[in-house]
Structure 1
Amino acid sequence: MKFPTYFISHGGGPWPYMDDLRHAMRALEMSLRDIPRQIGVTPKAVLMISGHWEDEVFSVMASPQPTMVYDYYGFPAHTYSVIYPAPGAPALASRVRALIGAAGLPARLDVERGFDHGTFAPLAVMYPDADVPVIQLSLQARLDPAQHLELGSALSSLRDKGVLIIGSGLSYHNLRCFGPPARAPSQAFDGWLQDTLIRSSPADRLARLIDWGKAPAARLAHPRGDHLLPLMVAVGAATTEAGHCIYHEDNIFGGVTASSFRFGSAANE
C-alpha cells in the first residue's frame, strides 16, 4: 500500500494538553483523528517535517528514544512536563539520510534532537498511545521551496514501505497579525492554496509553489515561510497525485482561515 502524504495545520502550542484550547480547536482535532482512518492501517513509522526545526543541512532525528522540546512560551506550567513517549527509529533515520544524500542534498543524523510541538501536539491526537515510531526531519534554513520539493521527491519511496510522511506547519503563520486583522490576508492566501493544491495541474502546482511569494497576501500570511515549507515536502513526495482539503476553518485564533491537505487517495476511496 502506498500511503498518501499530508500537510497539516498543527494548531497553537501544546493545545491537546489544555482543555480550553482543545475545545477551541475541536474541528482541527477531529481532522487529525480522522487521518488514521484515512490511511486504513497503522504505519510502521511517522516521518514528520516540523516547521519548528531548521538546520544548515537537512537533519534527521536518530535517537532511539527522543526527548521533548518545549518550544513555546507563556503556557501553563504542566505543559512543560508533558511527555509524548513514542520511540524513535534509528534505522529509518539512516535510510532517510541515505535517500536525501542520493538526491544530491546535504543531510546528517542528529541523535540529540527531541520532539517539538509541531510533532508531539498533532501526534498526541492522531496516535494518543504513542505506539508508532516517529522521527523528525528538519527544514533547511534557507527555506528554498524548490529544494524542499526535491527533498519530498527523494523521500517518496518510503510511502510504499509503511512510512507516513507529514508536513506539520500552519497554512497561515504571522504571529504579529492574529485575531480579526488576520481575517483578510488568511482568506486571500487560503484561496490561493485551495486553487493551487486542488485545482491546478501537477506541473502548475509545482510552479506555483516555487513562486509562492507571489501569491495574494503571501508575505502577510508567511513572513518567513517556515510554517509553509513543510507543505513543499508533502507535495514533493506525491508530485502527480491529487490534493484534497481535509480541514478548513474560518475563525481559528480569533479570525484566521486555516486548512490542511492530503495528497493521494485515502484507503477507503
Structure 2
Amino acid sequence: MTRLPSYFLSHGGGPWPFMDNEFSRMFGELEQSLKTVAAELPEKPSAVLVISGHWEAVEFQVASAATPGMVYDYHGFPEHTYHVRYPAPGDPALAAEVQQRLRDVGLPCHLDSEQGFDHGAFSLLYPMYPEADVPVVQLSLLHSMDPAAHLAAGRALAPLREKNILIVGSGMSYHNLRLLGPGGAEPSRQFDKWLQQTLVESEPDTRRERLEHWSQAPSARIAHPREDHLLPLMVALGAAEQEPAGCIYRQHDLFGGITVSSYRFGNLPD
C-alpha cells in the first residue's frame, strides 16, 4: 500500500515566486526545498489538499470550485503580481470527500464554490508543480485556532494519503511581520529549536501534547503573535500522527536573521 507523507511547508513572503529581484532571491533555499518535495515523490499526486494560513472561517470550509480563481491577499508588491495566475484545476469530488470525512468525526464543514487560491497555496505550488497540472483543493483554518480541533481534522483526513492525495499545511514556522530581521533572530531560533525537539525528537504522544500547548514554548508568542501560520502544521501532523517527522528545510538568515523550517511527516514511499 502506497501512503504519501504529509507536509508542513513554510511558504515565504507574498508572491515571491513570480518576482525576480533581491526579495525573491532571498527565498532560493526555500524554492529548492519545494522542488525537492515534488521530485522525491514516486509520482505526481492525484491532487493536493492545502491547508493555508491565509483562510479562516468559524467552521471548516473547503473550496469546491472546478476552476478556482485567485486571491491576491498581500499588499505593496509589484503591479504584475496582482495579475498572476496559477491555473490548476480544482477537484469538486475531493472537496466533497473532505467535507464528509470531517463531518463524520463531528467537525462541521461547508463547501465554498467561490474561494480561489490564496498565496499560501500558489506561492508554494508554483515551484512544486509549475505546469499547474495537479488538481488543488484548499481547506480553511478554524477562526478559533484550537490546536486540538486541527489535529483532529488531520486525523480524519489521514486516509486520503492512501489515495495518492498530498496533504500540505502551508504557513511559516516564524510569522511576526513586526519583528523581522536581526531583532527576530533569537526568538525565531529559540522557537525553531523547540519545534525541532517537538516534531523530530519527541514520541508521538509527547509531540501531540507539546503542540496542543505550543504557546508555552520559548518565545512562542514572539514567533507567532497570532497562530494562523502555525495551525496548518497541526493538520499536517494529525494526518500522520504516529509516524516519524523529518526537517526538510531550515534556514537561519531569512530577512536578515530569521530561522524558518519545514517538515515531512511519514516516510517516503518506496
The answer to whether the superposition gives a TM-score over 0.5 is yes
RMSD: 0.7
Asked if the contact 2:200/2:246 (under 8 Å) is kept, the reply is yes
Q: 1:83 is paired with a residue of what secondary structure?
A: coil
Does the aligned pair in 1 maintain the 2:55–2:141 contact within 8 Å? yes
Give unmatched runs, 5+ long, in structure 1.
none
- The amino acid that maps onto 1:77 is E
Question: 1:4·1:164 contact (CA, 8 Å) conserved in 2?
Answer: yes
Tell me, yes or no, if the aligned pair for 2:3 and 2:269 is still in contact at 8 Å.
Answer: no
1:12 aligns with 2:13: yes
Look up the equivalent residue of 1:215 and give its one-letter code. Answer: A
Offset at 1:38?
Answer: 2.0
Matched, 1:84 2:50: no
Give the equivalent residue in structure 2 for 1:257.
259
Give the aligned partner of residue 183 of structure 2: 181
Runs of 4+ in 1 over 6 A off after TM superposition: none
1:5/1:235 contact within 8 Å kept: yes
Kindly provide the amino acid, as one letter, of the partner of residue 17 in structure 1: F
Q: Which amino acid aligns with 2:184?
A: A
Task: Check the 8 A contact 1:22/1:29 in 2, yes or no.
Answer: no
The within-5 A match list for 1:105-124 is 105-124=107-126
- How many residues matched? 268
Q: Which residue of 2 aligns with 1:31?
A: 33
2:161 to 154, 159, 162: 159
Q: CA deviation at 1:23?
A: 1.7
What is the alpha-carbon distance in structure 2 between the residues aligned to residue 262 and residue 97 of structure 1?
A: 24
Q: Residue 53 in 1 paired to residue 68 in 2? A: no
- Give the CA deviation at 1:253: 1.5
Secondary structure of the 1:19 match is: coil
- What is the rounded CA distance, in whole Å, between the counterparts of 2:58 and 2:74 in structure 1? 22
Q: CA deviation at 1:267?
A: 3.0
TM-score, structure 1 as length reference: 0.99
Contact 2:95/2:137, CA 8 A, preserved across alignment:
yes
- Residue 145 of structure 1 aligns with which residue? 147
Contact 1:7 1:261 in 2 (8 A): yes
The equivalent residue for 2:132 is 130
- Find the counterpart in structure 2 of residue 196 from structure 1: 198
CA distance in 2, matches of 1:265, 1:26: 25
**Contact 1:38–1:267 at 8 Å: present in 2 too?**
no
The Cα offsets for residues 117-166 of structure 1, whole Å up to 9 and x where unpaired, read as 00001000000000000000000000000000000000000000010000
Residue 75 of structure 1 aligns with which residue?
Answer: 77
- Cα distance in 2 for partners of 1:193, 1:35 equals 20
| Kept in 1: contact 2:52–2:169 (CA 8 A) | yes
Letter in 2 for 1:15: W
Identity %: 56
1:205 matches 2:207: yes
Query: What is the letter of the counterpart of residue 14 of structure 1?
Result: P
AA of the residue aligned to 1:85: P
In structure 1, what is the Cα distance between the partners aligned to 2:117 and 2:6? 20
Task: Give the TM-score normalised by structure 2.
Answer: 0.98
Whole-angstrom distance in 2 between the partners of 1:230 and 1:124: 19
Counterpart selection for 1:241 from 228, 240, 243: 243
Structure 2 portions without partners, runs of 5+: none
Residue 221 of structure 2: aligned partner? 219
Q: Distance in 2 between matches of 1:210 and 1:139?
A: 15
Given residue 5 of structure 1, which amino acid in structure 2 is its aligned partner? S
2:66 alignment partner in structure 1:
64
